[in-house]
Amino acid sequence: MAYEDLRAFIHALEQAGELKRIGVEVDPILEISEIANRVSKSGGPALLFENVKGSHVPLVINAFGSPRRMELALEAGSVEEVAGRIRELVHMKPPEGLFEKLKLVPRLAEIGAFFPKTVSDGPAQEIVRADNFSLLDLPILQCWPQDAGRYITFPVVFSRDPETGKRNCGMYRMQVFDERTTAMHWQIHKQGAEHFRRAGKASDSKMEVAVAIGTDPAVTFAAISPLPPDLDEMLFAGFLRSKPVEMLRCRTVDLEVPATAEFVLEGTVDLNERRTEGPFGDHTGFYSLPDEYPVFRVHCMTHRRDPIYSTTIVGPPPMEDCYMGRAVSRIFLPLMQLQLPEIVDVNLPFEGIFHNLMLVSIRKSYPGQARKVMNAIWGLGQAMFTKCIVVVDDDVDVQNSREVVWKALNHIDPERDIQFTLGPIDALDHSSRLPSFGSKMGVDATRKWPSEGFHRPWPEALRMDERIKALVDGKWEKLGL
């Protein structure tokens, strides 16, 4: 059964021995972050802080911070199971006869059952505060010493395309300026920023926004997923949880939010107002630099009677977001393979923080194919930000970084096999020559063919004779090694 809400997920974590309750008073200014950082780095559990200084609201963090907890979040034995469900969908063949059509009906009905469902009331609006509320009553973290302030780090942000009316849901950090005002970190390439630009062309001076905090894990995961702009994230969340997400109409804005959220912030963004946001200790392991971003003014806050605040901290890997990013890369691999069927596997090592390094193995069929794959990846959605792509043959295990480094460095002639290109760069990249624009590097570490101008012999990798290996296997215990 799908988790109805965040607290059902917390209960499941506790039942699985994956959550630790902490009753000692802790400060949301830096102290919780230091605790969470140490626990994350050591592979520790999710943390539920029940006594947060300055707030009556408990706080949960690191809920997604391990492979096991990601499996629990997605209610799957492995993230590969979810990838398998997507692979079935994308490879669904058109029925050829009446019998095949009848067999397809249950599958189509199943997919139709994932669409979000509007309800008239829900726990997210048990308490409605249009006047007497302050964001500072929430246990919002300051994560790192040089952060510009306290940041909401797990917000599920809803906006509507002013041209098409379609909903978008994304996760964009929110620096708290005061009791009812935050920044809205809509990076230039994100869909929320596109809605902001389109709204600026209309006559209205304000754009409605709603923010859900503390959603069920499928909704949270859908908010960070690199979906096509026209695919509703709540539909994808329904697919993940095999049950539709119940949506509730906001009280003061024309938007819907998950009915079981812990908190909902309703308000507007003035299309003519920007303020300096940052610095912020980011997932790159460095502070992202201050910049001008839209301002979100909160007009109404609704919440459950006994809400739980959900948050995360990012920084030098490994941290909680690494495991979420790893799940994204595994789950969406079938969609990448749909467009690039020669791809065997992909790995985005934690140290590459998901936009600095991608390792790709391919079944090579023609000269120059590795370069074709690089260029195609740079044209795929958020994969366009990948700073360095290394392409290897299909006999290289890209999940084993040591093997990739060994074989790739043996296989390349740097002048011949490295190419550079210019294009969009992640807005958080502090090294690019210009904000959001810079260079990217591709490395063709596949075996080179005569048809690629390589006419020297290509040596075999060292492998022991199978008969000798079996012989030694039989003697291993006697050897005492």
Residues 226-238 pLDDT 10s: 888 778 899 999 9
Residue 71 covered by a domain: yes
Is the domain of 31 the same as that of 140? yes
Q: Which residues, other chains included, contact 451 with Cβ-Cβ below 8 Å and sequence gap of 6+? A: 366, 367
Do 71 and 164 lie in a common domain?
yes
Q: How far apart are CA 183 and CA 151, in angstroms?
A: 9
- Bridge partners, 19 (sequence order): 46
At residue 476, what are phi and psi to the nearest 5 degrees? -60, -45
Task: Determine the 3-state secondary structure of 105 from DSSP.
Answer: helix
* 324 is a domain residue: no
What's the angle, vertex CA 347, arms to CA 345 and CA 353, rounded to 5? 160
Q: Are residues 236 and 129 in the same domain?
A: yes
Q: Are residues 191 and 252 in the same domain?
A: yes
Residue 104 lies in a domain: yes
Residues 269 and 344 in one domain: no
What was the pLDDT predicted at 94? 54
Return the closest-CA partner of residue 223 out of 158, 284, 285. 158
Domain end call among 310, 330, 365? 310
Q: Residue 212: CA atoms inside 13 Å, Cβ hemisphere, count?
A: 32
Distances (CA, A) of 105 to 34, 85, 94, 112, 113: 52, 17, 12, 10, 12
Q: What is the pLDDT of residue 103?
A: 47
Contacts of 283 by beta carbon, 8 Å cutoff, 6+ apart: 314, 315, 317, 319, 321, 353, 354, 428
Residues 78 and 191 in one domain: yes
Residue at 68 is within a domain: yes
What are the φ/ψ torsions at residue 37 (nearest 5 degrees)? -60, -45
Res 228: pLDDT:
80
Task: Say yes or no: 301 and 384 in one domain.
Answer: no
* Closest CA relative to residue 245, chosen from 439, 134, 421, 113: 113
Return the structure tokens found at 307: 């809400």
229 and 349 inside one domain: no
Q: Rounded to whole angstroms, how far apart are CA atoms 162 and 181?
A: 23
Does a structural domain hold residue 325?
Answer: no
Six-digit token string for 134 = 């302050």
CATH of residue 406: 3.40.1670.10
Provide the residue type at 325 as one letter: G
Q: Which pLDDT score, from 0 to 100, does residue 33 have?
A: 96
Instruction: Determine, yes or no, domain membership for 151.
Output: yes
Q: Give the Cβ contact number of residue 84 at 10 Å.
A: 14
Listed in order, strand segments (DSSP E) in 173-308 are: 174-178, 181-183, 206-213, 246-249, 256-258, 263-277, 280-281, 287-288, 291-303
Q: Are residues 165 and 92 in the same domain?
A: yes
Instruction: Catalogue the active-site residues.
Output: 282
| Residue found by looking up tokens 């009331």 in the block | 121
Residue 289 sits in which domain range?
Answer: 6-310
Q: What pLDDT is recorded for position 410? A: 93
* Domain assignment of residue 440, yes or no: yes
CATH code for the domain of 124: 2.30.110.10
DSSP 3-state of 114: coil
- Residue 36 backbone dihedrals phi, psi, to 5 degrees: -65, -40
Q: Find how far residue 29's CA is from the centre of its chain.
A: 25
The Cα–Cα gap between 173 and 153 comes to 5
Q: pLDDT digit of tens for each residue in the chain (481 aa)?
A: 789 999 999 999 999 999 999 999 999 999 999 999 999 999 999 999 999 999 999 999 999 999 999 999 999 988 898 888 888 776 655 555 555 544 444 554 566 678 899 999 999 999 999 888 999 999 999 999 999 999 999 999 998 888 888 889 999 999 999 999 999 998 877 777 777 777 776 656 888 999 999 999 999 999 998 888 778 899 999 999 889 999 999 999 999 999 999 999 999 998 888 999 999 999 988 999 899 999 999 999 999 999 999 999 999 999 999 999 999 999 989 889 988 999 999 999 998 888 899 999 999 999 999 999 999 999 988 889 999 999 999 999 999 999 999 999 999 999 999 999 999 888 888 888 898 899 999 999 999 999 999 999 988 888 999 999 999 999 999 998 8
User: How many domains does the structure of the chain reveal?
Assistant: 2
Residues 238/116, Cβ–Cβ less than 8 Å:
yes
Q: Are residues 180 and 53 both part of a single domain?
A: yes
3-class secondary-structure state, position 404: helix
Residues 395 and 292 in one domain: no
Global model pTM greater than 0.75: yes
